[in-house]
Protein backbone atom coordinates (compact mmCIF):
# COMPACT_ATOMS: atom_id res chain seq x y z
CA UNK A 1 0.00 0.00 0.00
CA UNK A 2 1.26 3.46 -0.94
CA UNK A 3 2.09 5.60 2.09
CA UNK A 4 0.29 8.93 2.17
CA UNK A 5 2.16 12.25 2.15
CA UNK A 6 0.98 12.84 5.72
CA UNK A 7 2.60 9.59 6.94
CA UNK A 8 5.92 9.47 5.08
CA UNK A 9 6.73 13.18 5.08
CA UNK A 10 9.36 14.34 2.60
CA UNK A 11 10.82 17.77 1.88
CA UNK A 12 10.51 19.15 -1.69
CA UNK A 13 14.09 17.99 -2.32
CA UNK A 14 13.09 14.41 -1.46
CA UNK A 15 14.77 14.26 1.95
CA UNK A 16 13.00 12.77 4.96
CA UNK A 17 11.23 15.17 7.31
CA UNK A 18 13.27 15.42 10.54
CA UNK A 19 16.71 14.08 9.62
CA UNK A 20 16.65 15.86 6.22
CA UNK A 21 18.56 12.96 4.67
CA UNK A 22 18.14 11.18 1.32
CA UNK A 23 18.35 7.43 0.69
CA UNK A 24 22.03 6.62 0.22
CA UNK A 25 23.17 9.28 2.69
CA UNK A 26 23.73 6.79 5.52
CA UNK A 27 26.01 3.79 5.94
CA UNK A 28 24.84 0.39 7.16
CA UNK A 29 26.75 0.99 10.41
CA UNK A 30 25.53 3.96 12.43
CA UNK A 31 26.81 5.46 15.67
CA UNK A 32 24.20 7.43 17.60
CA UNK A 33 25.04 10.11 20.17
CA UNK A 34 22.81 12.40 22.18
CA UNK A 35 24.92 15.54 21.95
CA UNK A 36 25.24 17.32 18.57
CA UNK A 37 28.84 18.34 19.39
CA UNK A 38 29.82 14.69 19.83
CA UNK A 39 29.15 14.10 16.11
CA UNK A 40 32.21 16.23 15.26
CA UNK A 41 34.16 14.60 18.06
CA UNK A 42 33.64 11.23 16.35
CA UNK A 43 33.87 12.27 12.70
CA UNK A 44 37.23 13.96 13.30
CA UNK A 45 38.59 10.41 13.42
CA UNK A 46 37.25 9.63 9.91
CA UNK A 47 39.65 9.40 6.99
CA UNK A 48 37.11 11.14 4.74
CA UNK A 49 33.78 12.90 5.26
CA UNK A 50 31.35 12.85 2.34
CA UNK A 51 28.25 14.33 3.99
CA UNK A 52 27.39 16.85 6.70
CA UNK A 53 23.73 17.64 7.38
CA UNK A 54 21.99 19.24 10.35
CA UNK A 55 18.26 19.82 10.87
CA UNK A 56 17.08 20.80 14.35
CA UNK A 57 18.94 18.63 16.90
CA UNK A 58 19.62 15.91 14.33
CA UNK A 59 23.17 16.26 13.03
CA UNK A 60 24.60 13.67 10.62
CA UNK A 61 28.09 13.01 9.28
CA UNK A 62 28.83 10.14 6.88
CA UNK A 63 32.36 9.22 5.86
CA UNK A 64 34.93 6.45 5.80
CA UNK A 65 37.36 5.02 8.32
CA UNK A 66 39.88 2.31 7.46
CA UNK A 67 38.17 1.84 4.12
CA UNK A 68 34.70 1.31 5.62
CA UNK A 69 31.70 3.62 5.41
CA UNK A 70 30.29 4.92 8.70
CA UNK A 71 27.56 7.34 9.79
CA UNK A 72 27.30 9.21 13.09
CA UNK A 73 24.07 10.98 14.03
CA UNK A 74 22.86 12.95 17.05
CA UNK A 75 19.48 11.92 18.44
CA UNK A 76 18.96 14.54 21.09
CA UNK A 77 17.70 13.39 24.48
CA UNK A 78 14.95 10.94 25.34
CA UNK A 79 12.85 8.04 23.98
CA UNK A 80 10.57 10.32 21.93
CA UNK A 81 13.53 11.42 19.81
CA UNK A 82 14.58 7.77 19.40
CA UNK A 83 11.16 7.08 17.87
CA UNK A 84 11.88 9.73 15.21
CA UNK A 85 15.47 8.71 14.51
CA UNK A 86 14.87 4.94 14.32
CA UNK A 87 11.80 5.27 12.11
CA UNK A 88 13.49 7.67 9.70
CA UNK A 89 16.76 5.71 9.53
CA UNK A 90 14.73 2.60 8.73
CA UNK A 91 12.73 4.48 6.10
CA UNK A 92 15.94 5.63 4.38
CA UNK A 93 17.01 2.03 3.71
CA UNK A 94 13.76 0.06 3.65
CA UNK A 95 11.18 2.28 1.91
CA UNK A 96 11.20 3.23 -1.77
CA UNK A 97 10.57 6.98 -1.67
CA UNK A 98 9.31 7.01 -5.28
CA UNK A 99 6.63 4.35 -4.88
CA UNK A 100 6.15 5.09 -1.15
CA UNK A 101 6.14 1.37 -0.43
CA UNK A 102 8.39 -0.93 1.62
CA UNK A 103 11.16 -2.59 -0.37
CA UNK A 104 10.96 -6.31 -1.06
CA UNK A 105 14.50 -6.88 0.22
CA UNK A 106 15.08 -5.22 3.60
CA UNK A 107 18.37 -3.88 5.00
CA UNK A 108 19.45 -4.49 8.59
CA UNK A 109 21.44 -1.65 10.13
CA UNK A 110 24.05 -1.88 12.88
CA UNK A 111 23.21 0.84 15.42
CA UNK A 112 25.74 1.54 18.18
CA UNK A 113 24.95 4.14 20.81
CA UNK A 114 27.99 5.92 22.27
CA UNK A 115 26.62 7.78 25.26
CA UNK A 116 27.08 8.99 28.81
CA UNK A 117 25.46 7.60 31.90
CA UNK A 118 25.33 7.50 35.68
CA UNK A 119 26.28 4.39 37.66
CA UNK A 120 23.89 2.97 40.26
CA UNK A 121 26.44 0.56 41.75
CA UNK A 122 29.22 1.74 44.11
CA UNK A 123 31.77 -0.60 42.47
CA UNK A 124 31.35 0.92 38.98
CA UNK A 125 33.54 4.02 39.11
CA UNK A 126 33.35 7.21 37.09
CA UNK A 127 35.33 7.14 33.82
CA UNK A 128 34.63 3.40 33.37
CA UNK A 129 32.63 1.97 30.43
CA UNK A 130 29.45 -0.12 30.57
CA UNK A 131 28.16 -2.34 27.78
CA UNK A 132 24.37 -2.61 28.03
CA UNK A 133 23.39 -6.26 27.64
CA UNK A 134 19.78 -5.39 28.49
CA UNK A 135 17.91 -2.09 28.36
CA UNK A 136 14.93 -1.61 30.67
CA UNK A 137 12.61 1.23 29.69
CA UNK A 138 10.20 3.20 31.86
CA UNK A 139 8.60 5.08 28.96
CA UNK A 140 5.54 3.89 27.01
CA UNK A 141 6.96 4.28 23.47
CA UNK A 142 7.02 0.61 22.48
CA UNK A 143 3.43 0.07 23.61
CA UNK A 144 2.26 2.05 20.57
CA UNK A 145 3.68 -0.66 18.27
CA UNK A 146 2.62 -4.25 17.59
CA UNK A 147 4.64 -7.39 18.34
CA UNK A 148 6.20 -6.03 21.53
CA UNK A 149 5.54 -9.30 23.35
CA UNK A 150 7.82 -11.07 20.85
CA UNK A 151 10.88 -9.09 21.98
CA UNK A 152 10.07 -8.09 25.57
CA UNK A 153 11.65 -10.00 28.48
CA UNK A 154 8.36 -10.46 30.34
CA UNK A 155 9.91 -12.36 33.26
CA UNK A 156 12.23 -9.39 33.85
CA UNK A 157 9.30 -6.96 33.93
CA UNK A 158 7.26 -9.13 36.29
CA UNK A 159 10.13 -9.62 38.74
CA UNK A 160 11.13 -5.96 38.56
CA UNK A 161 7.61 -4.67 39.27
CA UNK A 162 7.31 -6.98 42.26
CA UNK A 163 10.72 -5.98 43.64
CA UNK A 164 10.12 -2.24 43.31
CA UNK A 165 6.42 -2.29 44.27
CA UNK A 166 5.96 -0.45 41.00
CA UNK A 167 3.50 2.44 40.88
CA UNK A 168 0.76 1.20 38.53
CA UNK A 169 0.05 4.77 37.40
CA UNK A 170 3.43 4.64 35.60
CA UNK A 171 4.00 2.82 32.32
CA UNK A 172 4.74 -0.89 32.70
CA UNK A 173 8.54 -1.32 32.43
CA UNK A 174 9.81 -3.28 29.43
CA UNK A 175 13.17 -4.99 29.01
CA UNK A 176 14.88 -5.77 25.68
CA UNK A 177 18.22 -7.48 25.02
CA UNK A 178 21.09 -6.05 22.99
CA UNK A 179 22.00 -7.73 19.73
CA UNK A 180 24.04 -10.84 20.53
CA UNK A 181 26.46 -10.40 17.61
CA UNK A 182 27.35 -6.83 18.57
CA UNK A 183 27.54 -7.77 22.24
CA UNK A 184 30.14 -10.44 21.45
CA UNK A 185 32.07 -7.99 19.26
CA UNK A 186 32.39 -5.66 22.26
CA UNK A 187 33.17 -8.40 24.82
CA UNK A 188 36.47 -6.70 25.65
CA UNK A 189 37.67 -6.30 29.24
CA UNK A 190 37.37 -2.56 28.60
CA UNK A 191 33.60 -2.84 29.04
CA UNK A 192 31.68 -3.79 32.18
CA UNK A 193 28.60 -5.84 31.17
CA UNK A 194 25.39 -4.60 32.71
CA UNK A 195 21.73 -3.72 32.60
CA UNK A 196 20.88 -0.14 31.71
CA UNK A 197 17.78 1.65 32.98
CA UNK A 198 16.32 4.13 30.48
CA UNK A 199 14.39 6.88 32.23
CA UNK A 200 11.91 9.41 30.82
CA UNK A 201 13.57 12.43 32.41
CA UNK A 202 16.79 13.69 34.00
CA UNK A 203 15.60 15.04 37.35
CA UNK A 204 12.65 13.43 39.13
CA UNK A 205 12.66 10.18 37.11
CA UNK A 206 16.36 9.72 37.97
CA UNK A 207 15.85 10.59 41.64
CA UNK A 208 17.25 14.13 41.55
CA UNK A 209 15.57 16.64 43.85
CA UNK A 210 15.74 20.39 43.25
CA UNK A 211 12.45 22.02 44.32
CA UNK A 212 10.01 19.19 43.59
CA UNK A 213 9.72 16.19 45.90
CA UNK A 214 9.61 12.61 44.61
CA UNK A 215 6.73 10.15 44.57
CA UNK A 216 9.15 7.32 45.45
CA UNK A 217 12.39 8.63 47.03
CA UNK A 218 13.75 5.07 47.27
CA UNK A 219 13.36 4.19 43.57
CA UNK A 220 17.09 4.40 42.77
CA UNK A 221 17.83 2.16 45.75
CA UNK A 222 15.26 -0.36 44.47
CA UNK A 223 16.81 -0.23 41.00
CA UNK A 224 20.29 -0.84 42.41
CA UNK A 225 19.22 -3.85 44.50
CA UNK A 226 17.23 -5.61 41.76
CA UNK A 227 18.87 -8.76 40.34
CA UNK A 228 18.05 -10.61 37.11
CA UNK A 229 19.91 -13.84 36.32
CA UNK A 230 22.74 -12.72 38.65
CA UNK A 231 23.00 -9.34 36.88
CA UNK A 232 22.23 -6.00 38.48
CA UNK A 233 21.03 -2.73 36.99
CA UNK A 234 24.35 -0.98 36.55
CA UNK A 235 23.54 2.45 35.17
CA UNK A 236 20.83 4.89 34.12
CA UNK A 237 20.35 7.14 31.07
CA UNK A 238 17.57 8.10 28.63
CA UNK A 239 17.84 6.28 25.26
CA UNK A 240 19.13 2.69 25.38
CA UNK A 241 15.94 0.66 25.92
CA UNK A 242 14.06 2.62 23.26
CA UNK A 243 16.87 2.02 20.75
CA UNK A 244 16.91 -1.70 21.56
CA UNK A 245 13.13 -2.02 21.26
CA UNK A 246 12.71 -0.05 18.04
CA UNK A 247 15.71 -1.77 16.44
CA UNK A 248 14.49 -5.26 17.26
CA UNK A 249 10.95 -4.52 16.04
CA UNK A 250 12.38 -3.29 12.71
CA UNK A 251 14.99 -6.01 12.28
CA UNK A 252 18.09 -3.93 13.04
CA UNK A 253 20.97 -4.75 15.41
CA UNK A 254 21.70 -2.44 18.32
CA UNK A 255 24.17 -2.05 21.17
CA UNK A 256 24.66 0.73 23.72
CA UNK A 257 28.05 1.70 25.17
CA UNK A 258 28.18 4.12 28.08
CA UNK A 259 30.88 6.29 29.60
CA UNK A 260 30.12 6.54 33.31
CA UNK A 261 30.35 10.22 34.22
CA UNK A 262 28.53 10.09 37.58
CA UNK A 263 28.28 7.55 40.37
CA UNK A 264 24.91 8.14 41.99
CA UNK A 265 25.66 5.79 44.87
CA UNK A 266 28.90 7.55 45.84
CA UNK A 267 27.83 11.05 44.78
CA UNK A 268 30.91 11.47 42.57
CA UNK A 269 31.33 12.99 39.10
CA UNK A 270 34.12 12.65 36.53
CA UNK A 271 36.95 15.18 36.86
CA UNK A 272 37.41 15.16 33.08
CA UNK A 273 34.21 14.00 31.30
CA UNK A 274 35.47 14.96 27.83
CA UNK A 275 38.51 12.72 28.26
CA UNK A 276 36.30 9.79 29.30
CA UNK A 277 34.05 10.30 26.28
CA UNK A 278 37.02 10.57 23.92
CA UNK A 279 38.45 7.30 25.25
CA UNK A 280 35.09 5.57 24.71
CA UNK A 281 34.97 6.88 21.14
CA UNK A 282 38.50 5.66 20.42
CA UNK A 283 37.80 2.19 21.86
CA UNK A 284 34.52 1.94 19.96
CA UNK A 285 36.05 2.86 16.59
CA UNK A 286 39.04 0.56 17.15
CA UNK A 287 36.76 -2.44 17.77
CA UNK A 288 34.10 -1.55 15.19
CA UNK A 289 36.45 -0.63 12.34
CA UNK A 290 39.88 -2.15 13.06
Mean confidence (pLDDT) of the chain: 96
Report how far apart the first and last C-alpha atoms of the chain are (Å, whole number).
Answer: 42
Contact partners, residue 224, CB within 8 Å, separation at least 6: 120, 121, 232, 233, 265
pTM to 2 decimal places: 0.96
| Contact predicate 115/272, CB 8 Å | no
Question: How does residue 179 score in pLDDT terms, banded at 50, 70 and 90?
Answer: very high
Confidence at residue 151, expressed as pLDDT on a 0 to 100 scale: 95
Confidence at residue 217, expressed as pLDDT on a 0 to 100 scale: 95
| Contact predicate 215/165, CB 8 Å | no
Enumerate domains of the chain plus CATH numbers: 29-288 (3.40.50.1580)
Q: Which is more confidently placed, 290 or 211? A: 211
Give the C-alpha separation, 273 to 262, whole Å: 9
The stretch 106-116 carries a mean pLDDT of 98
Q: In the predicted model, is pLDDT for residue 196 greater than 90?
A: yes
Question: How does residue 153 score in pLDDT terms, banded at 50, 70 and 90?
Answer: very high
Q: In the predicted model, is pLDDT for residue 33 greater than 90?
A: yes
The stretch 242-266 carries a mean pLDDT of 97
Confidence at residue 281, expressed as pLDDT on a 0 to 100 scale: 98
Q: In the predicted model, is pLDDT for residue 1 greater than 90?
A: no
Backbone angles phi, psi at 92, to 5 degrees: -65, -30
Residues of the chain above pLDDT 90, percent: 98
Give residue-wise pLDDT tens across range 56-85: 999 999 999 999 999 999 999 999 999 999
Q: In the predicted model, is pLDDT for residue 145 greater than 90?
A: yes
Amino acid sequence: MRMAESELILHPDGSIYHLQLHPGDIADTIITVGDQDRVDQISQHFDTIELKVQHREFKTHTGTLNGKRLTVISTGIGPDNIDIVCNELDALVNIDFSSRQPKEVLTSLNIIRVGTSGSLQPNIPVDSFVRSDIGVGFDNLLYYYGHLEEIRLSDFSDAFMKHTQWNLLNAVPYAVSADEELRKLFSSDLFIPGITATQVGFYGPQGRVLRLGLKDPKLNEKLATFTYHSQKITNMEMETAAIYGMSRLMGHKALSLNAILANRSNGTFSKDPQKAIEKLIEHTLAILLP
